[in-house]
A = this chain, B = another copy of it.
């Protein structure tokens, strides 16, 4: 693989993921389209194994490792979707996985990660560093660190989401004007751009981010990496990476259009629309691109636009908040 990932790399990842990743559906809604005056498609990646797209990158990473490295296991850190995706990918490939998770992570996410057979090491968010713990395990056992986004093998795995999306749109004879995908560190959004543009070069691909955590949007606008001021405080718990990655940002500058930013309220409204019109359970971070489209920040009128709804791992109380939003006209 070349140093900067290409469309051919995404195609190779798609072959590795064939029969492993679910080919999630590309859905639209006639009523919503009529209201928006265009066509809005959802790539329903919340229906993916483990409830998010993360298994694509994790599995592709493991499949790219040498057999010798695989025998020594893998280690990762995550409080959420990457933990579950990596644990399940490792189970499918019969590789030992150790996941470092915060002691205050939701019990269900810890249980889910353990249910995939991973060893979970809990740490204290305030007093300890998960990187230190993870790197310590790697050093001691020879396990390979599987990063959440900033690696070409991860990025091209996530990119298969975009490849599928573009193929599905093409099968419908639709030329997409724009695609938007949620963005934390940039693995999904840059991967999706590679996958989409390999099939449909004219399509503009946008990263969607939560207000206050728009590091990629600002970095693209300024041409140099920007950090978020805060590390927590958005309902989009999956999108809190502090800055774009060293692998993802240079690629983002080549393949992404301007970023899109949605507020927490717009995200909750989008979750309600996904519930009511699409019958999908979408988590806050997974709904941020949809939120941008519904809030008019990604125009749909007289256009064909697709958004990736990247995950559905939302707790009951947060989903109930979305259900309580006033229903629009």
Chain A residues at the B interface, C-beta cutoff of 8 Å: 22-25, 27, 30-31, 34, 44, 46-47, 49, 51, 88, 91, 108, 112, 115-116, 275-276, 278-282, 312, 316, 319-320, 323-324, 327
**Residue with the highest number of chain B CB atoms closer than 10 Å, among A44, A46, A279, A323:** A279
A24 to B115, CA, bound (A): 28
The interface residues of chain B lying within 8 Å CB-to-CB of A23 are 25
A117 to chain B, nearest CB (A): 10
In the assembled complex, 14 residue pairs joining A and B whose CB atoms fall closer than 8 Å, in A order, are A27-B47, A30-B116, A31-B112, A31-B115, A31-B116, A34-B115, A47-B279, A47-B280, A275-B316, A276-B316, A280-B281, A316-B323, A316-B327, A320-B320
Contact A24 B25 (CB under 8 A): yes
Contact A46 B316 (CB under 8 A): no
Contacting pair B279 A312 (CB below 8 A): yes
Q: How far is the CA of A11 from the CA of B51 in the complex (A)?
A: 33
Q: Which residues of B have CB within 8 Å of A49?
A: 30
Residues of B within 8 A of A91 (CB): 30
Q: Is there contact, CB below 8 Å, between A316 and B312?
A: no
> How distant is the Cα of A279 from the Cα of B315 in the complex, in angstroms?
11
Beyond A24-B25, A51-B279, A323-B323, 8 extra complex contacts between A and B, CB < 8 Å = A30-B49, A30-B91, A47-B280, A276-B316, A279-B282, A316-B323, A316-B324, A320-B324
> Contact between B27 and A22 (Cβ–Cβ < 8 Å)?
yes
Q: Which 4 A-B pairs have the closest CB atoms?
A: A279-B312, A279-B281, A46-B279, A316-B323
Report the separation of the CA atoms of residues A276 and B47 in the bound assembly, to the nearest whole angstrom.
Answer: 11
Chain B residues with Cβ below 8 Å from A27 are 22, 47
Contacts of A115 on B, CB cut-off 8 Å? 31, 34
